[in-house]
């Protein structure tokens, strides 16, 4: 009996000769499907990815020559609501005009709750306009930033009145981690950071259009403590080249009733403190700021506050950082007032957006 | 008109003052009771919430005009309380009146107005008096334009929920006056459109509207209202209305709709028809991240133009499986890959889809949805869509089940989610997803999977532990299945396959499996200790080892891993017979697998071999089991369990060596007693030892097997051979020693000079087991084996009397648990003895064919037993 069983088992083991060939379709496919992700999936610390522990100090970069002054003032005067976007499928920078037409048709259809039909020359309530934002790239192979605007006539205006932009949004990717972009198949365009400003309903409609056309998904991008601390430190670092005015940090202490602490630091004080915590730059890594320095900077600020007010700010949450260079809120609203530091701030935000990528 | 509202407010106030005094006490008691009982605490919390809510309402009723808003903590606290209630349960009609009155009267200025309006979500209906009052306030108080618009939008949204429209119609003229306000005009027109009746249409109103139209242009909202007027009174409106006019007013994406649907759904619909209305409206609203996208053809024009020339068929047009088959080469993917999840036909297509970027799109979407729902919590606290999330996960699970694989985005999500999971949220679904995780390289498996799981396992309930065991078992099963399918095709070495992107060699795979099995072994050992060897948990653990023991034969993986002592001993000393039986079965399967592996190794000269240590472990366990269940020699020297005599005496169990004999084993005790009663119905005193007599023992075993203990049957058949004579046993061993391996004997003469290091003979017990019924001979002592196996040799108390039985029952489980715990703790210290080389495997098959005894045995076994003692309880002459 046993003997028989042994023989049977011999046939079932892989080493025997006569094998039934079967197709294993799905397992192979599953590994294909994640080939972009595999490399990153198994990198150490994947489960708890964090911001880079060190980054270059922001260098002022003039993008005035590359960008239209009107657009530049739009970028720097508006407070943007941040979102992250999964890579866009089959997005072509060469087809922006046709996208604009389709978006206009879609906006009209959404208001009618119908199906978008693109008709040449028809007047829509909202007119979409797509344009490139040249210069908002740092690394190689990064997709150029794209600005989307919706123009419309005011409701009670005459037919010949000029159109006004009612909504704007733009995609960008600045120094967005070469590995990630490289691992994407060529069909995909990685523009992980999306900033929008305008009525929420319009934002939702535009996002819906993008989701349907490029099979991407939008998610809110709140800024966490670490990011805000980085922002504060990077701005303090710019004191010598730019007017910081006041570095203002807003803490919310979770007590009942809620307590908000607004903590304004004189630019010179901030700079002195910052140069105090800066470690001597080694020859190799000049201009690189480590996360330790950032933490120490904020820690010192908190300590100073505690000395005077006997209140541990560590118990609360840093919710807002603002200065002459801009403002960043934990809710994900960001204003970048200085065009010179636009690119360097965007690279930090791009990194945050990439952290949110599902795979 | 207002008396109702005031009364309600007063009523609230009195309620609030009642609960006012008790509230601080309640709060402190609620903190105390937190540990007592979750349910109690929940109840308490609800009560507190209700109290603070009525207090808040009281505050808003009574607050003096001119009270500052900035820095007013009372105001802030009360408003937060109202908001919380509104978003979770909605406001009852009186509360709606109170809050609306507060907001529109601008008692604290206009700044809180918008905020209050945003949270005005009725739980059932909106009292029309409140709306009328508010409209009146709209005329007199100084409210910013945007807030005015917000208010009219609010009325439009809640229109179906207003409990009566008569009073609103009564002030039609009053409302009509707002039409002249440029900002409010579109919304007021909409409201008027809803309120208009034939009698409201007046010449001066028509005239006013026409005047407006000439000023503003042909605005759709004016046209709509005018067209309605024309329907009622065609003689008054001479205007020609364009026939192809856009229908309907704008569908405002107001902040209330989603929240309102949620609130009404949660409250279980008191206003069923309005829900229907709202639901139809909400169908059009923006898709949430848990909603599947609609299956729609690709909208990217580039793709469309390509598709036109290529004559492709959009997936959405495929209606049947036949169509799918006919068009499978020219199917166009939908605009959003996520929509495939919603249709079963699309899943069929997904199954054979090879397009890498399409799958990547799917993974991006899926990962996004999972992340948003479970990791980022971007949906806000307002909508607790746990039901929706559960449906989503179940859909995902069934999809993965259908595809027989997990999505890589699910995998990536799980690695993150396990770190924050509480082990309770969506447990069945998450565990289900987890069991779909494909093979993880052994270098990462610890960090990605084991570390978070260890924490969850040791802090969770028994049921979580069982669930996790089941999940890991399923995971292992899937890995092994994957291996058996894959290895078959690719001739063992997976890395040879150049067109796959995974680089997993056979040894890599083996390492991963080994890690997993060891990990489960550790979990199970400690888990069983922590849960007092709970039989439910033990059952799940044994499930796992039932998979493990078959790895070689069933799945073709040259790897055998024995269970750790922390699993083996609790199973062996379990108080339920099923566990012992399953352990026996597992050991039997281990033996078959090891034997087969050994045989393969010899024959094929393959590079693989099973670790010697595994054989040693197996031998150790097997010897121990036989000693324990059969030989009544549990703690003797050389049995592997060497407890000091004094310790055993301390346990005060008489005849401890025999405590786990099949007759005395706590798991089988009831069977033994049953058997005893059936065998000797006339005996008054219970003497279990009489079962151990050779004949009775054989019957007892048959009795057990007839009760369904097949595991025991297999174990006994494969491991325990009955005593023939010492001489024959010797001869059998001599015979096998010299001959080259006959295929029938798996481990013939496997012996090297150094027995401890060589492969020992797998098992060997010469043993008195089933004696032919006519054989009266007492089983002689077995001297061949190092193990003293004697059928009656156990030094039991002279008489197993009934009182003794009672005592035994009372004490044995304790003793059992004690020994098991002791073993678990000190397994590192118990010495595993060298298996005795003299032990020879003797089974019916290897008996010399001419052996008379063998023939007799087989005759006895195969011939129908005329009267099994337990069927026909004839008292045998013992």
Extents of the domains making up chain A: 2-46+67-222, 225-330
Gyration radius from chain A CA atoms:
26
Asked if the model's pLDDT at residue B795 lies above 80, the reply is no
Cβ of residue B825 closer than 8 Å to a chain A Cβ: no
What pLDDT was estimated at residue B48? 81
Q: Are strands A164-172 and A188-189 parallel, antiparallel or unpaired?
A: unpaired
Tell me the average pLDDT across B580-588: 94
Q: Which of A81, A125, A84, A85 is nearest to A107 (CA)?
A: A125
Q: Which residue has the higher pLDDT, B322 or B41?
A: B322
What pLDDT was estimated at residue B201? 87
Q: Name the least confident of B382-391, B663-672, B758-767, B813-822.
A: B758-767
Asked if the model's pLDDT at residue B545 lies above 90, the reply is yes
- How much of chain B is in helix, strand and coil states, percent to nearest 5? 60, 0, 35
Query: Please, what is the average pLDDT of chain A?
Result: 79
Cβ of residue A89 closer than 8 Å to a chain B Cβ: yes
Q: Name the least confident of A152-156, B40-44, B820-824.
A: B820-824
The pair of three-digit structure tokens given for residue B326, joined into one six-digit string: 């006919």
List, as own/partner pairs, every contact residues B69-76 make where C-beta atoms lie below 8 angstroms and the sequence separation is at least 24, other chains included.
B69/B108, B69/B109, B69/B111, B69/B112, B72/B108, B73/A257, B75/B108, B75/B112, B76/A257, B76/A258
Asked if the model's pLDDT at residue B376 lies above 50, the reply is yes
Closest CA in chain A for residue B221: A155
Q: Name the least confident of A78-92, B41-55, B577-591, B734-748.
A: B734-748
Asked if the model's pLDDT at residue B569 lies above 70, the reply is yes
Size of interface A-B (CB pairs under 8 A): 229
Residues 119-158 of B with CB under 8 A from A: none
Question: Please, which residues have CB within 8 angstroms of residue B855's CB and are 6 or more apart in sequence?
Answer: none
CB B11 within 8 A of CB B18: no
pLDDT tens digits, one per residue of B116-173: 888 888 888 889 889 999 988 888 878 888 888 888 888 888 888 888 888 888 899 9
Tell me the average pLDDT across B196-205: 86
> Look-up: residue for tokens 């909504």?
A167
The pair of three-digit structure tokens given for residue B606, joined into one six-digit string: 């393959």
CB B58 within 8 A of CB B17: yes
Nearest-Cα distance to chain A for B292, in Å, is: 12
Positive or negative, the Cα torsion across B83, B87, B92, B96?
A: positive
pLDDT tens digits, one per residue of A10-45: 333 333 222 222 233 333 434 433 433 444 444 444
Select the residue from A18, A20, A21, A30 to test the B interface by mutation, using most B Cβ atoms within 10 A.
A30
Cβ of residue B366 closer than 8 Å to a chain A Cβ: yes
pTM assigned to the model: 0.66
CB atoms near residue B219 (< 10 Å): 17
Cβ of residue A211 closer than 8 Å to a chain B Cβ: yes
Question: Which helix (H) or strand (E) covers residue A150, if one does?
Answer: strand A145-152
Tell me the average pLDDT across B185-214: 87
Chain A residues close to B411, C-beta within 8 Å: 34, 41
Question: Which helix (H) or strand (E) covers residue B221, if one does?
Answer: helix B220-232
Nearest-Cα distance to chain A for B685, in Å, is: 43
Q: Bridge-partner residues for B194, per DSSP? A: none
Asked if the model's pLDDT at residue B438 lies above 80, the reply is yes
CA–CA dist A125, A157 (Å, integer): 12
Percent of chain B with pLDDT over 70: 67
Cβ of residue B190 closer than 8 Å to a chain A Cβ: no
Q: Name the least confident of A126-135, A163-172, B310-319, B590-599.
A: B310-319
CB atoms near residue B564 (< 10 Å): 18
Q: Which residue has the higher pLDDT, B273 or B580?
A: B580
pLDDT tier at A156, thresholds 50, 70, 90: low
Residues 281-300 of B with CB under 8 A from A: 284, 286-287, 289, 293, 296, 299-300
Asked if the model's pLDDT at residue B275 lies above 60, the reply is no
Closest CA in chain A for residue B247: A112
Strands (E), B419-558: none
Cβ of residue A282 closer than 8 Å to a chain B Cβ: no
pLDDT tier at B254, thresholds 50, 70, 90: low
Cβ of residue B438 closer than 8 Å to a chain A Cβ: yes
Cβ of B367 within 8 Å of Cβ of A21? The answer is: no
Phi first, then psi: give them for residue B339, nearest 5 degrees: -70, -15
CB B254 within 8 A of CB B154: yes
CA–CA dist B745, A2 (Å, integer): 9
pLDDT tens digits, one per residue of A89-145: 989 999 999 999 999 888 888 776 655 555 544 456 788 999 998 888 877 778 889
Asked if the model's pLDDT at residue A185 lies above 90, the reply is no
Asked if the model's pLDDT at residue B330 lies above 80, the reply is yes
Chain A residues close to B554, C-beta within 8 Å: 12
What pLDDT was estimated at residue B557? 85
Q: Bridge-partner residues for A318, per DSSP? A: A251
Q: Which of A8, A11, A321, A359 is nearest to A185 (CA)?
A: A359
Chain A residues close to B216, C-beta within 8 Å: 156
pLDDT tier at B682, thresholds 50, 70, 90: confident
What pLDDT was estimated at residue B265? 72
Nearest-Cα distance to chain B for A155, in Å, is: 9
Question: Which helix (H) or strand (E) covers residue A166, if one does?
Answer: strand A164-172
pLDDT tier at B20, thresholds 50, 70, 90: very low
pLDDT tier at B694, thresholds 50, 70, 90: confident
Cβ of residue A29 closer than 8 Å to a chain B Cβ: yes
Asked if the model's pLDDT at residue B678 lies above 80, the reply is yes
Of the partner residues B182, B412, B558, the one whose CB lies closest to the CB of residue A358: B412
Select the residue from A15, A187, A261, A331 to test the B interface by mutation, using most B Cβ atoms within 10 A.
A15
The pair of three-digit structure tokens given for residue B600, joined into one six-digit string: 């393969």
Asked if the model's pLDDT at residue A207 lies above 90, the reply is yes
Chain A residues close to B434, C-beta within 8 Å: none
Select the residue from B357, B599, B844 to test the A interface by mutation, using most A Cβ atoms within 10 A.
B357
Q: For residue B330, how many C-alpha atoms fall within 13 Å in the half-sphere facing its CB?
A: 12
Helix (H, G, I), strand (E, B) or coil at B838: coil
Cβ of residue A83 closer than 8 Å to a chain B Cβ: no
Residues 772-811 of B with CB under 8 A from A: none
The pair of three-digit structure tokens given for residue B737, joined into one six-digit string: 């020693």
Cβ of B486 within 8 Å of Cβ of A24? The answer is: yes
Query: Please, what is the average pLDDT of chain B?
Result: 71
Here the ipTM equals 0.86
Closest CA in chain B for residue A1: B845
pLDDT tier at B4, thresholds 50, 70, 90: very low
pLDDT tier at B248, thresholds 50, 70, 90: low
> Look-up: residue for tokens 């709202």?
B278
Nearest-Cα distance to chain B for A191, in Å, is: 14
């Amino acid at each position: 009996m046993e003997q028989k069983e042994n023989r049977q088992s011999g046939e079932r083991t892989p080493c025997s000769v006569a094998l039934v060939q079967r197709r294993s379709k799905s397992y192979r496919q599953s590994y294909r499907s994640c080939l972009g992700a595999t490399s990153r999936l198994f990198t150490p610390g994947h489960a708890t990815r964090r911001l880079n522990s060190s980054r270059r100090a922001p260098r002022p970069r003039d993008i005035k020559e590359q960008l239209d002054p009107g657009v530049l003032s739009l970028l720097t005067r508006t407070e943007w609501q941040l979102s992250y976007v999964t890579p866009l499928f089959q997005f072509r920078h060469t087809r922006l005009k046709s996208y604009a037409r389709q978006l206009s048709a879609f906006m009209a259809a959404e208001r009618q709750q119908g199906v978008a039909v693109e008709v040449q020359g028809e007047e829509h309530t909202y007119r979409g306009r797509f344009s490139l934002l040249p210069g908002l790239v740092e690394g190689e192979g990064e997709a150029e930033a794209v600005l989307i605007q919706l123009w419309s006539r005011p409701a009670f205006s005459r037919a010949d009145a000029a159109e006004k932009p009612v909504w704007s949004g733009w995609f960008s990717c600045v120094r967005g981690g070469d590995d990630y972009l490289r691992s994407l198949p060529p069909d995909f365009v990685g523009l992980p950071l999306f900033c929008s400003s305008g009525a929420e309903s319009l934002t939702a409609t535009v996002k819906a259009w993008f989701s349907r056309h490029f099979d991407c998904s939008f998610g809110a991008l709140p800024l966490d403590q670490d990011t805000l601390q980085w922002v504060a430190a990077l701005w303090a670092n710019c004191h010598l080249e730019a007017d910081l005015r006041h570095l203002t940090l807003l803490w919310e202490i979770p007590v009942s009733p809620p307590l908000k602490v607004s903590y304004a630091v004189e630019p010179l004080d901030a700079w002195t403190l910052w140069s105090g915590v800066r470690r001597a730059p080694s020859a190799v890594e000049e201009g690189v700021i480590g996360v330790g320095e950032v933490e120490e900077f904020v820690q010192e600020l908190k300590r100073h506050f505690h000395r005077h007010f006997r209140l541990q700010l560590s118990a609360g949450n840093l919710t807002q950082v603002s200065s002459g260079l801009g403002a960043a809120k934990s809710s994900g609203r960001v204003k970048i007032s200085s065009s010179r530091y636009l690119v360097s701030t965007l690279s930090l935000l791009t990194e945050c957006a990439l952290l949110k990528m599902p795979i | 008109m207002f008396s109702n509202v005031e009364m309600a407010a007063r009523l609230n106030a009195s309620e609030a003052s009642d609960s006012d005094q008790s509230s601080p006490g309640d709060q402190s008691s609620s903190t105390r009771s937190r540990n007592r009982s979750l349910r109690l605490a929940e109840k308490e919390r609800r009560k507190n919430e209700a109290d603070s809510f009525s207090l808040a309402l009281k505050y808003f009723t009574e607050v003096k005009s001119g009270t500052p808003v900035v820095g007013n903590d009372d105001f802030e606290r009360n408003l937060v309380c109202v908001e919380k209630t509104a978003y979770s349960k909605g406001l009852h009609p009186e509360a709606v009146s109170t809050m609306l009155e507060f907001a529109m009267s601008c008692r604290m200025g206009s700044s809180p107005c918008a905020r209050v309006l945003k949270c005005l979500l009725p739980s059932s209906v909106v009292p029309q008096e409140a709306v009328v009052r508010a409209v009146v306030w709209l005329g007199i108080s100084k409210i910013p334009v945007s807030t005015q618009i917000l208010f009219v939008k609010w009325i439009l949204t809640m229109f179906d929920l207003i409990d009566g429209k008569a009073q609103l119609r009564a002030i039609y003229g009053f409302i009509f006056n707002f039409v002249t306000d440029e900002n409010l005009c579109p919304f007021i027109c909409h409201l008027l459109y809803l309120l208009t009746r034939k009698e409201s249409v007046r010449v001066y109103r028509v005239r006013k509207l026409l005047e407006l139209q000439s000023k503003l242009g042909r605005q759709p909202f004016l046209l709509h209202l005018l067209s309605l007027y024309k329907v009622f009174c065609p003689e008054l409106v001479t205007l020609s209305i364009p026939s192809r006019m856009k229908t309907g007013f704008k569908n405002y994406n107001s902040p209330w709709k989603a929240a309102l649907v949620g609130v009404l759904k949660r409250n279980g619909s008191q206003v069923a028809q309005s829900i229907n209305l709202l639901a139809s409206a909400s169908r059009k609203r923006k898709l949430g991240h848990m909603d599947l996208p609609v299956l729609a053809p690709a909208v990217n024009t580039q793709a469309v133009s390509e598709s036109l020339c290529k004559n492709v068929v959009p997936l959405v047009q495929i209606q049947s499986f036949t169509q799918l088959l006919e068009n499978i080469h020219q199917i166009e993917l939908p605009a959003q890959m996520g929509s495939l999840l919603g249709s079963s036909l699309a899943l069929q297509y997904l199954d054979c889809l090879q397009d890498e970027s399409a799958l990547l799109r799917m993974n991006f979407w899926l990962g996004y949805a999972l992340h948003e729902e479970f990791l980022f919590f971007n949906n806000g606290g307002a909508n607790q869509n746990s039901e929706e999330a559960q449906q989503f996960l179940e859909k995902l699970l069934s999809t993965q089940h259908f595809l027989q694989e997990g999505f890589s985005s699910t995998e990536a999500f799980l690695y993150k989610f396990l770190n924050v999971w509480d082990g309770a949220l969506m447990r069945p679904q998450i565990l289900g997803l987890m069991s779909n995780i494909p093979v993880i390289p052994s270098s990462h498996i610890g960090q990605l999977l084991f570390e978070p799981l260890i924490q969850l396992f040791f802090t969770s309930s028994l049921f979580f532990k069982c669930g996790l065991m089941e999940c890991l078992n399923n995971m292992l099963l899937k890995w092994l299945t994957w291996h058996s399918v894959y290895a078959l095709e690719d001739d063992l070495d997976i890395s040879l396959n150049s067109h796959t992107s995974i680089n997993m060699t056979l040894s890599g795979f083996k390492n991963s499996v080994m890690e997993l099995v060891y990990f489960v072994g550790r979990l199970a050992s400690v888990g069983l200790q922590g849960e007092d060897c709970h039989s439910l948990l033990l059952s799940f653990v044994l499930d796992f080892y039932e998979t493990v023991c078959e790895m070689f034969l069933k799945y073709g993986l040259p790897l055998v891993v024995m269970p750790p002592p922390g699993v083996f001993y609790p199973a062996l000393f379990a108080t339920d017979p099923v566990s012992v039986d399953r352990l026996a079965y597992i050991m039997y399967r281990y033996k078959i697998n090891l034997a087969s592996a050994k045989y393969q190794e010899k024959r094929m000269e393959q590079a693989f071999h099973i670790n010697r240590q595994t054989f040693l472990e197996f031998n150790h366990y097997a010897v121990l089991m036989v000693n324990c269940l059969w030989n009544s020699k549990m703690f003797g020297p050389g049995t592997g369990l060497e407890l000091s005599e004094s310790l055993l005496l301390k346990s005060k169990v008489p005849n401890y060596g025999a405590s786990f004999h099949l007759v005395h084993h706590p798991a089988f005790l009831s069977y033994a007693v049953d058997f005893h009663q059936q065998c000797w119905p006339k005996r008054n005193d219970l003497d279990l030892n009489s079962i151990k007599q050779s004949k009775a023992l054989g019957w007892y075993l048959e009795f057990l097997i007839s009760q369904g203990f097949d595991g025991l049957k297999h174990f006994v058949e494969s491991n325990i051979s009955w005593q023939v004579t010492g001489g024959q046993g010797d001869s059998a061993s001599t015979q096998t020693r010299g001959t080259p391996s006959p295929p029938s004997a798996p481990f013939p003469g496997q012996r090297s000079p150094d027995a401890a290091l060589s492969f020992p003979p797998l098992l060997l017990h010469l043993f008195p087991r089933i004696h032919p019924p006519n054989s009266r001979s007492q089983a002689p002592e077995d001297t061949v084996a190092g193990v003293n196996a004697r059928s009656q040799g156990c030094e039991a108390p002279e008489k197993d009397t009934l009182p003794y039985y009672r005592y035994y029952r009372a004490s044995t489980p304790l003793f059992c648990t004690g020994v098991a715990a002791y073993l678990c703790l000190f397994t590192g210290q118990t010495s595993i003895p060298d298996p005795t080389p003299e032990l020879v495997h003797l089974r019916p098959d290897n008996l010399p064919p001419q052996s008379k005894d063998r023939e007799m045995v087989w005759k006895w076994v195969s011939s129908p037993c005329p009267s099994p003692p337990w069927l026909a309880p004839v008292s045998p002459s013992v």
